[in-house]
Structure 1
Amino acid sequence: MVTVTVLAAVVQARTEVVWPSMCGHNSLFVGRIGDWTWDAVGAACGIDVMNTHDSQGRPAYLSFCYFRIRGGRRFHLRTPTFGDRLQVDTALYRTRGQSVLALHRIDRSPRRHGDGFDLHEFVTAGDADRLYVQTLNRWVARSREGSNQALLRSLPSDFALDSLPEIPPSYCPLPTMRRARMAYTLRPAAAVLSGEGLRLDYQIDPSRDLNGVGLLYFASYFSIVDWALLRWWRQQRRTDETFLGRVVVDQQMCYLANVDVSVTISADVRAWRPMTGPRPHSEFVEVVLRDGQRRLVVSTLEILTDDSR
């Protein structure tokens, strides 16, 4: 096995206490991870990520293009609760195309805080007491004032990636993102369709789904996916109690587009059973959000079934 360790200069460590505003059956914890990403990029690259502009003077935003959260039975996305103390180590890389890859290792065991950062650990997600989070971010700007459609890739004039090492190709999520963009799926290739799918309509809620600059908030996509998942869950004659107790050991989200306020989007939900792999009794639920023919998000959740717990 080849072990790749990042340069110490780009590893940032923090200790966080879980407050009520950052946990629960919602997207609050995902939003907080997004804040840690922005904070890390700002510190490493010497830029005010919340107040920067491109060469044309347009506000530039460090958008999320890809998000992956991996955990285990003992510690997954819904596990953190009031008063937990978390150790968060963050490493940053640059990728081709001026994108930033952030790797967050979230640990409930302070005795290991700040130990070596092994990229292979993020591939295997082998520690059941850790969360492994990958985010890939690119700078965007609006092409038309007041519109969330047709966002442009646009670098801030004062942004530089020289201080970050380049991610080795074998650990880069760009091929996964290309598959999501071309095939609109993130599920394993060796999987068979399971049960009936479901199509739903969801109206973007301007009182809840937008961020402070009027874009559909990246964490709101997680909430909308869970909204669709719950309705599919009930269609399978499963209870709300088992929904709250679900264990999602791997969730991937590929962001393809943003959407304007008050638009009604559709959500397609389908489930797949893996034919091979380390967890043959898990199920993969795929949620694709779209605005007409325009895909917005492709998300896949690996959920442990009763047989695999």
Structure 2
Amino acid sequence: MPHLSGCGLSENWLLKELGHRHWTMLAETAGSEGPDFRDEEGRPVYAAFCAVRLGDARLELGAENGRLVIRSALRRVSRTQIESRHELLIDGRAAGTLEMISTFIKRTGRGNHCVARVALDGLMPVDPAPSELAALAASLRSKRLSRHLGFDLAADTRGIAEFTFDPCPEQDFNGAGFLYFPSFPAFVDRAEWQIDRHRASLAGRETFYYGNVDPGEDIRVILVGEQPDAGARLWRIERTGSRSLLAEIFTRRAERPERREAPVSLR
């Protein structure tokens, strides 16, 4: 039951599970008994996600007593970045693909604003095949891209609607003290629920991460653009005080047939 939401397989649970799988697979390739990475000075090093893309999603197929199969692969795409790919099958039916790009970071000061990328030794060699998602994330972060998925990325950030949230340490942050990466799309879902109570099933989502906050800092979730015919919306998440950009999230929804009602175990 923890694997499910009221709309099928829980995206929030899925992100947490595959984030953990990404981390443990990485530790295994490094020959480590557990995902405890350190820099040369013994300080903790974490795998922070730069981009997560869910495609061809059919999460509404998930139901009680169903069978979820996840096929995962991991590769190193640069000196500091790791990519994992996870294919989802629910009761033998394709339910989506999740791609994740992480980079190693360490704290350089107090709080979650002071972090830096770091390279670690002892990992798998870099795969020479380029990563389209890593390249896309770099282009968005550096603002070299003017349009993506039909959206004008220079659009007025005041947007169509905006919502303010105060992330809770017990619900929204992880054990390392960072605002947890699944919390970002969860805030978008909460905001979207306020404006669209009849939204369709999730068909795809791309989340690009640029920053983090400390407990006690508010965030602003802004609907920047929408394409009703395509069921697509572009959201931005900002730190309320400085208005610095924390994430961009592209969400696409599609009408589906009513999901089956059956005695159904993702327990």
TM-score normalized by structure 1?
0.71
Number of residue pairs the alignment of both structures matches? 245
- The secondary structure found in structure 1 opposite 2:37 is coil
- Aligned-partner Cα distance in 2 for 1:285–1:152: 31
Query: Which amino acid in 2 is paired with 1:21?
Result: P
1:12 maps to none
1:202 maps to 165
Cα gap change, 1:261 to 1:137, in 2 (>3 Å): same
2:114 equivalent to 1:129: no
- The secondary structure found in structure 2 opposite 1:207 is helix
Please list every run of 5 or more consecutive structure 2 residues that lacks an aligned counterpart in the other structure. 257-267
- Aligned-partner Cα distance in 2 for 1:129–1:226: 23
- Aligned-partner Cα distance in 2 for 1:152–1:258: 12
C-alpha RMSD of matched pairs (Å): 2.7
1:226 maps to 189
- Aligned-partner Cα distance in 2 for 1:144–1:22: 36
Deviation at 1:253, TM superposition (A): 0.4
Cα gap change, 1:50 to 1:130, in 2 (>3 Å): same
Contact 1:40 1:90 in 2 (8 A): no
Contact 1:61 1:139 in 2 (8 A): yes
TM-score normalized by structure 2?
0.81
Deviation at 1:178, TM superposition (A): 2.4
Q: Structure 2 matches for 1:5-24, cutoff 5 A?
A: 20-24=1-5
Deviation at 1:24, TM superposition (A): 1.1
- The secondary structure found in structure 2 opposite 1:81 is coil
1:139 maps to 104
Of 181, 203, 207, 1:249 maps to 203
- The secondary structure found in structure 2 opposite 1:214 is coil
- Aligned-partner Cα distance in 2 for 1:101–1:297: 19
1:102 maps to 84
1:125 maps to none
2:43 equivalent to 1:58: yes
2:23 maps to 38
Q: Structure 2 matches for 1:266-285, cutoff 5 A?
A: 266-273=220-227, 281-285=229-233
Cα gap change, 1:52 to 1:175, in 2 (>3 Å): closer
Of 281, 297, 301, 2:251 maps to 301
- The secondary structure found in structure 2 opposite 1:60 is strand
> Greater shift after overlay, 86-95 or 177-186?
177-186
Query: Which amino acid in 2 is paired with 1:225?
Result: V
Q: Structure 2 matches for 1:161-176, cutoff 5 A?
A: 161-162=124-125, 166=127, 168-169=129-130, 171-176=131-136
Deviation at 1:137, TM superposition (A): 0.8
Query: Which amino acid in 2 is paired with 1:130?
Result: A
- The secondary structure found in structure 2 opposite 1:21 is coil
Please list every run of 5 or more consecutive structure 1 residues that lacks an aligned counterpart in the other structure. 1-19, 111-127, 234-238, 275-280
Deviation at 1:198, TM superposition (A): 0.3
Query: Which amino acid in 2 is paired with 1:270?
Result: V
- Aligned-partner Cα distance in 1 for 2:128–2:89: 23
1:123 maps to none
Cα gap change, 1:49 to 1:172, in 2 (>3 Å): farther
Contact 1:49 1:61 in 2 (8 A): no
Q: Percent identity?
A: 17
- Aligned-partner Cα distance in 1 for 2:146–2:20: 27
- Aligned-partner Cα distance in 2 for 1:185–1:55: 39
Of 141, 149, 166, 2:113 maps to 149
Deviation at 1:180, TM superposition (A): 2.3
Cα gap change, 1:252 to 1:190, in 2 (>3 Å): closer
Contact 1:271 1:283 in 2 (8 A): no
Contact 2:205 2:250 in 1 (8 A): yes
- The secondary structure found in structure 2 opposite 1:302 is strand
